[in-house]
Structure 1
Amino acid sequence: MRSPAVLNKLIFRRIMPLLIAAYVIAFIDRTNIGMAKDRMEIDLGISATAYGIGAGLFFLTYALSEIPSNLIMHRVGARFWIMRIMITWGLLSACMSLVQGEWSFYILRMLLGIAEAGLFPGVIYFITQWFMVKDRARANGFFLLGVALANVIGAPLGGLLLTMDGLGGLHGWQWMFIIEGIPACFLALVVWKMLPNKPSEAKFLTRAEAEDLEARIAAEESAGAAAAGNSKLRHVLKDKQILLVVAIYFTHQIAVYALSFFLPSIIGTYGELTSVQIGLLTSIPWLFSAIGALLIPRLATDGSRSRTVASASMVGIVAGFALGAIGGPVLGLIGFSIAAFNFFALQPILFTYPATRLSGAALAGGIAFVNTVGLFGGFLGPYVMGLLEEITGNKMSGLWFIVIMCAIGAVLTLKLRRGTEDPSKASVSGH
């Protein structure tokens, strides 16, 4: 039987590329309205506030559907459920090309949220079935590369597709939605064919290796849940540490999606730029976010280090947005790059905490709960950015709201601790 270290590397090679590819496509389809914002305002008369509402409505229906989706996946398996999610979101994303005004924009964004619900928490839960706690922050970080890569690839691609304006009687933004929505349906078939539900179904592991891995993970989860006193889903609502993770994640998501949806239009204020140039400049901060996802989460190997890295990352987000708000084109882009570098240094670490305090169906539901409540930040951030832009006429005005919310999140990170961590030691190291 191969050593745990060798098996860990093998599992990374076999399942992570497919999961990353799925999230790349999902995030492109979720956030490509950022590239379409200014064109849809011109072609359809959608105001900045209406755009912010539509961008955020995705997260309301997504959030409300997540816990049921994750519990279904726990019962039917990741392979089938991820395939179903990808097909429905791909089709609905392509249907965004049919938007005629504010209400059709709202409705399709809400349907897209329902369709995609469960993908992120489902994969995070799936990762807990394959990796021990010490390896999960790194695995989560690799998965979140999908967000960074989606923006590195998606922004320039979106800018290029917008140049198809008028072809076949369609606007460029309509072509963008159609062309970027279709790949999800094809990748769904690859997921169905290649993704095993659990180690015991993996052809690349021997029976003994799979049984040993599943036993070690189950023992680790049970120990963490017992130490935290959590054995049922309802216990999540009483666990102060999980509620703390929710609050931090809420502020984090405000920052991530405010940047995702509004960075292209902010960059558009830097001068006379083409859609392709805006797309290329938009991709720069997300390139730094990919670097952060690769380098930082692997440092979070225990509770104390996780807390330190989480706090430092949140401070980096605050500093980055503040610099983006006061800097010109060069310093502003540097600031947004600093913030983005820390986005996925923090997020993979936050999602290691539920798995040290929950197990089984409670873990599946608990991860979804964290993501569900946190994603209301994905609604609030774009909404406030759009509202303040319309009130002030300044696309930068909402950035200070992001700074304040993330500063609160930075303070909260000091109180984090894992399920089996000694509270007294956590308190000392947190100050």
Structure 2
Amino acid sequence: MSSSVQTTAQRSKEAVNKLIFRRVMPLLIGAYVLAFLDRTNIGMAKDRLAIDLGISAAAYGIGAGLFFLTYALSEIPSNLIMHKVGARFWIMRIMVTWGVISAAMALVNGEWSFYILRMLLGIAEAGLFPGVMYFLTQWFVVKDRAKANGLFLLGVSIANIVGAPLGGLLLMLDGVGGLHGWQWMFIVEGVPSCLLAIAVWKFLPNKPTEATFLTRAEAEDLEARIAAEERQGAAAAGNSKLRHILKDKQILLVVGIYFTHQIAVYALSFFLPSIIGSYGKLSPFQIGLLTSVPWIFSAVGALVLPRLATNGSRSRAIATATMIGIVAGFVLGAVGGPVLGMIGFCLAAFNFFALQPILFTYPATRLTGAALAGGLAFVNTIGLFGGFLGPYVMGITEDLTGSKLSGLWFIVALCAIGAVLTRFLKRGTEDSSASAPAAH
């Protein structure tokens, strides 16, 4: 055996874990950056769509939310297909189709074309997030999973940090080549998804035993440890089939919390540029720069807090604290004016992606196999109806009251309920330890 092979064979579990983070996570983060950019860039275009096409705030809220209806309805079938055909092919397919449809948003000429393309975009992108959540369960043991989920969700923060100023600049191309600035934005931001899909196809292995950067022994050891954890959690929770999901109170609890969380995330994503625009006379680029600030805080939260959620009690405590932080942030945003309001939105955003990766560790301790793939999709499916409800309520209340902030109180009320629900979270392994006889 050569010295290089011996060195590889002697790598510790921690070294293998770090290697997987370096080789797998950048591609996944890049994919989610583009996904979130292409689903939320209409936030920067909201006011221009009203001026150029006469799309009202209520119609905009409906169109923004329709994405989530078709996305949600397609989630479970998409994830079950990925379970059969593998992540590499399916993520590549998702990226190509959403990139093409996102660029086609430049063809919008009224409310109905806006609605139709948003629904098609939802179908195209369906399965990416729960697919990656399932994919990560094949690569990381439970104690490392919240950290991996948190790093993946950095894509959302990066998309908003980069996307808002970029969208502002592209909107300033109004009239170039006979196109509106928002048309340039959709085209320029849609094409890179198709290009990154090629890299995903070439470099993303489906599972550890297909990875060229791991030895066979390392890959088999990792897969065996993950399978043992899944069997233990699923046995303790009594979940071995897809139908068991609907009977598991803990998974239904995660769904409820995630629903309130998604209402907050997407209300801010789609309406923050418009809220900031109401603070004073600002250029599209200035609005974009200010819009990016809360998402910088969301990136910090995603990096710092999920890695602390190494067991059930810590996960539960962090989940409760983050939901309380979201509630407090939106209250400040609603009453604080430009300065305190921005501080509030930064506080809320800091907690967004500290909570979400922790929530998705719970189904993975209670399900296994196809039930896990379907269960993760189920959680995301129901949660994403919050992605429809949040923008819809924000748009309706703005039209009814004339205030861009009035819908925030609806979000505060639902997130307060979500905060209460977090106190009852329990992992499958906690079920197991609770039911086991005491040691003597």
2:351 counterpart of 1:342: yes
The answer for the alignment partner of 1:393 in structure 2 is 402
Counterparts of 2:73 and 2:42, CA distance in 1: 22
Deviation at 1:3, TM superposition (A): 1.2
* Aligned match for 2:269, one of 243, 260, 271: 260
Q: Secondary structure at the match of 1:364?
A: helix
Structure 1: runs of 5 or more not aligned: 427-431
- Per-residue CA deviation, residues 62-96 of structure 1 (Å, 9 max, x unaligned), is 00000000000000000000000000000000000
- Per-residue CA deviation, residues 288-307 of structure 1 (Å, 9 max, x unaligned), is 00000000000100000000
Mapping of residues 20-39 of structure 1, within 5 Å: 20-39=29-48
- Per-residue CA deviation, residues 201-255 of structure 1 (Å, 9 max, x unaligned), is 0000000110110011001000000000000000000000000000000000000
- Per-residue CA deviation, residues 385-429 of structure 1 (Å, 9 max, x unaligned), is 000000000000000001001000000000000002049979xxx
The answer for the alignment partner of 2:246 in structure 1 is 237
Query: What letter matches 2:15 in structure 1?
Result: V
**Aligned partners of 1:97 and 1:174 also within 8 Å:** yes
2:311 counterpart of 1:311: no
**Aligned partners of 2:131 and 2:377 also within 8 Å:** yes
Query: What letter matches 2:308 in structure 1?
Result: L
**Aligned partners of 1:288 and 1:337 also within 8 Å:** yes
RMSD of aligned C-alpha atoms?
1.0
* Aligned match for 2:97, one of 88, 111, 115: 88
2:26 counterpart of 1:17: yes
Q: Secondary structure at the match of 1:196?
A: coil
**Aligned partners of 1:159 and 1:275 also within 8 Å:** yes
**Aligned partners of 1:31 and 1:260 also within 8 Å:** yes
* Aligned match for 2:360, one of 351, 355, 363: 351
Query: What letter matches 1:396 in structure 2?
Result: L
Query: What letter matches 2:131 in structure 1?
Result: G
* Aligned match for 2:108, one of 84, 96, 99: 99
The answer for the alignment partner of 1:360 in structure 2 is 369
The answer for the alignment partner of 1:134 in structure 2 is 143
2:10 counterpart of 1:8: no
Q: Secondary structure at the match of 1:175?
A: helix
**Aligned partners of 2:166 and 2:288 also within 8 Å:** yes
- Per-residue CA deviation, residues 299-345 of structure 1 (Å, 9 max, x unaligned), is 10000000000000000000000000001111100000000000000
The answer for the alignment partner of 2:167 in structure 1 is 158
The answer for the alignment partner of 2:226 in structure 1 is 217
* Aligned match for 1:380, one of 375, 383, 389: 389
Structure 2: runs of 5 or more not aligned: 1-8, 436-440
Q: Give the TM-score normalised by the residue count of structure 1.
A: 0.98
- Per-residue CA deviation, residues 116-162 of structure 1 (Å, 9 max, x unaligned), is 00000000000000000000000000000000000000000000000
The answer for the alignment partner of 2:342 in structure 1 is 333
Counterparts of 2:432 and 2:325, CA distance in 1: 26
Query: What letter matches 1:377 in structure 2?
Result: G
**Aligned partners of 2:236 and 2:432 also within 8 Å:** no
Counterparts of 2:434 and 2:369, CA distance in 1: 28
Mapping of residues 166-315 of structure 1, within 5 Å: 166-315=175-324
Query: What letter matches 2:378 in structure 1?
Result: F
* Aligned match for 2:51, one of 36, 42, 67: 42
The answer for the alignment partner of 1:412 in structure 2 is 421
The answer for the alignment partner of 1:429 in structure 2 is none
Q: Secondary structure at the match of 2:429?
A: coil
Counterparts of 1:390 and 1:263, CA distance in 2: 16
**Aligned partners of 1:417 and 1:423 also within 8 Å:** no
Q: Give the TM-score normalised by the residue count of structure 2.
A: 0.96
Q: Secondary structure at the match of 1:375?
A: helix
Counterparts of 2:432 and 2:355, CA distance in 1: 21
Q: Secondary structure at the match of 1:270?
A: coil
Counterparts of 1:4 and 1:301, CA distance in 2: 16
In the alignment of these two chains, the number of paired residues is 426
Counterparts of 2:281 and 2:152, CA distance in 1: 36
